[in-house]
Amino acid sequence: MSQTKSYWLDRKENVTKVYWAVWIVCGVLLLIDPLIHKHEAFGFAEWFGFFGFFGFFACVGLVLAAKMLRKILKRAEDYYER
């Protein structure tokens, strides 16, 4: 009775399929970007792939900011035992 339940993302080939599916969807969205008419208030928002690149660099910036904040806010390992 000690059988562990196996989920579909536990198999390496399924994780690889999801990884490539995400890349393909992102590529298709980037390719159809010039075909979509945008009604933006700022001219730079109409540049090719602006929102994709903005999202990527914003995410990288958040990760780097979190790494810096960790150095400032980090507590000693025995902080709650004192």
**Model confidence pLDDT, tens digit, residues 2-45:** 678 889 989 999 999 999 999 999 999 989 988 988 888 998 88
In a domain, 43, yes or no: yes
In a domain, 35, yes or no: yes
| CA–CA dist 8, 59 (Å, integer) | 28
Residue 18: partners with Cβ closer than 8 Å, 6 or more residues away: 9
In a domain, 54, yes or no: yes
| CA–CA dist 46, 38 (Å, integer) | 7
CB neighbour burial string for 36-59, b if at least 16 within 10 angstroms, e if fewer: eeeeeeeeeeeeeeeeeeeeeeee
Task: Tell me the per-residue pLDDT of 47-80, one tens digit each, with 9 for 90 and over.
Answer: 888 988 999 999 999 999 999 999 999 888 888 8
In a domain, 28, yes or no: yes
Give the largest Cα separation in the chain, rounded. Answer: 63
Look up the domain containing 43 and give its range: 10-75
In a domain, 23, yes or no: yes
Count how many domains the chain has.
Answer: 1
